[in-house]
Amino acid sequence: MNIQNSFLQASSSERDPLLLVLKQSQQYDVRITKVEHRELTDVHGKKLFDFASCNYLGFDCEQEALLDKGVQAAKAFGMHTSRARLMGYHELFTQVEKKLATFIGAEDTLLFPNTTLTSIGIIPALVQKGDLIILDKSAHATMYQAAQMARDKGAILKSFAQGDMDALETLLKTHSHCPRKMVCVDGVYSMTGDYADLAGLTPLVEKYQALLYVDDGHGFGFVGENPDVQHPYGSKGNGIINHQGTSPANTMYVAGTAKGLAASAAFAAVTPEMKEYLMAYAKPLDYTHPSTPFCLGVLDAALDLLPKIGEQRRADVYKLTVSLVEGLRGLGFHVMTQTLFPIISVWAGNTQTLIDASKYLYQNGIFLTACPYPTMPRGKEALRITVTALNTQQQIDHMLMLFADIKQQWQQAGVALTPDGESYAHV
């Protein structure tokens, strides 16, 4: 008996939905040998249009603009910092943190290696025995992991349905005796592209003296201040808090920089006092290495590049996203979004339908994200498409042609295009 394999969960059977999709959809464990913007070549020589990338502005292919500062930082400070951030750090950290703070309008920021470690570091450090954490049921799984760590120390963990302010207020009122209260939401929801209602959440959590924790992993660098009809994503890319006109002052705003700016790092908007506390008590800052100097150099350069090309890139993404959403809805598919953020999830209904459609798309040159249960709730399995500035209208047209084929396949098999008794708002 292999002892390692004996630790596999009983649910990991041949009928487990997640494992089935991983093994059969062809959309996972894809080995890429060549990248030409959003055209990839896999290890078997198959050409793929990339609709799985979340690098919305296409900064991942801006090597000429971003590499120099990264290389300069590596030359100045080394390839890697083999000590915990708490022990000591290069001045580059302070420079980038100040630059980020100015960009989003915060007092200060604190860098982490990624958003997963940000949540795992901050939430258990702030929430203690007898405190309350309320999680949006649609919030990212990494926040749930962090909250469960806090619960293991004696915190109370509750949840509410996305957007249900009445349920949230009931929980806050019922647990008003808790010394500290935290409400955790996504800034931009990773499966639907919907936005958290920060304008509604902020006064509610302040009423009960709770801290609003916002993970803006998808929004930062892309959405920003002053959105309007012509520019629904807003300008500057300074995050969902600025997009909705709220302030980081009474919010624990955290964001990743990989999706928006192609730099492997993350940060939290903090007060100087909070920064000092987290440096001592956030475990990823105490017991693991920080982002490399190279990554921070790339981030510094990306913040300089953003005002130069960001507005045009957002306009390009918007045009492509509108074309795709209108095309899918015109075919009769159920597109699970209430915004035109470039995350487009197409309802697939069940595991086998999801597998069959995913496989057909891959075999015909489309790389996207197949989302089975438990990534999505049962009955809401979906094909997630992400659009970036480096995709083309030709690629969109090719994918729509394939979805027309899928529609015909589903109709012949008696598979519904939309769920019964539920509809999402059309944009």
Cα 200 to Cα 51, 158, 197, 208, 357, distances in angstroms: 32, 19, 5, 14, 38
Provide the pLDDT confidence category of residue 9 given band limits of 50, 70 and 90: low
40 sits in which H/E element: strand 39-42
pLDDT, tens digit (0-9, with 9 covering 90-100), for 124-176: 999 999 999 999 999 999 999 999 999 999 999 999 999 999 999 999 999 99
Domain ranges of the chain: 7-60+310-413, 81-291
**Percent composition of the chain: helix, strand, coil (DSSP 3-state, to 5):** 45, 15, 40
What are the backbone angles phi and psi of residue 124, rounded to the nearest 5°? -70, -25
Contact 180, 224 (CB under 8 A): no
Looking at domain 7-60+310-413, which of 3.30.70.1150, 3.90.1150.10, 3.10.580.10, 1.10.3720.10 is its CATH number? 3.90.1150.10
- Eight-class DSSP state of 188: B
Mean pLDDT across the chain: 92
At 374 the three-state DSSP class reads coil
Q: Is the pLDDT of residue 414 over 70?
A: yes
In this chain, the answer to whether the domains covering 7-60+310-413 and 81-291 adopt an identical fold is no
pLDDT, tens digit (0-9, with 9 covering 90-100), for 169-184: 999 999 999 999 999 9
Q: What is the mean pLDDT of residues 283-303?
A: 94
Provide the pLDDT confidence category of residue 425 given band limits of 50, 70 and 90: very low
pLDDT score, position 15: 61
Q: Is the pLDDT of residue 14 over 60?
A: no
pLDDT, tens digit (0-9, with 9 covering 90-100), for 222-274: 999 999 999 999 999 999 999 999 887 779 999 999 999 999 999 999 999 99
* pTM reported for the whole predicted model: 0.92
55 sits in which H/E element: none
Please state, in angstroms and rounded to a whole number, the distance separating the CA atoms of residues 89 and 104. Answer: 23
Q: Is the pLDDT of residue 423 over 60?
A: no
pLDDT, tens digit (0-9, with 9 covering 90-100), for 111-123: 999 999 999 999 9
Q: Is the pLDDT of residue 8 over 90?
A: no
Strand partners, 268: 110, 254
What does CATH list as the number for 81-291?
3.40.640.10
For 93, the token pair is 């950290």
pLDDT, tens digit (0-9, with 9 covering 90-100), for 383-394: 999 999 999 999
For 10, the token pair is 């009983």
Cα 94 to Cα 143, 160, 194, 257, 293, distances in angstroms: 26, 37, 33, 16, 12
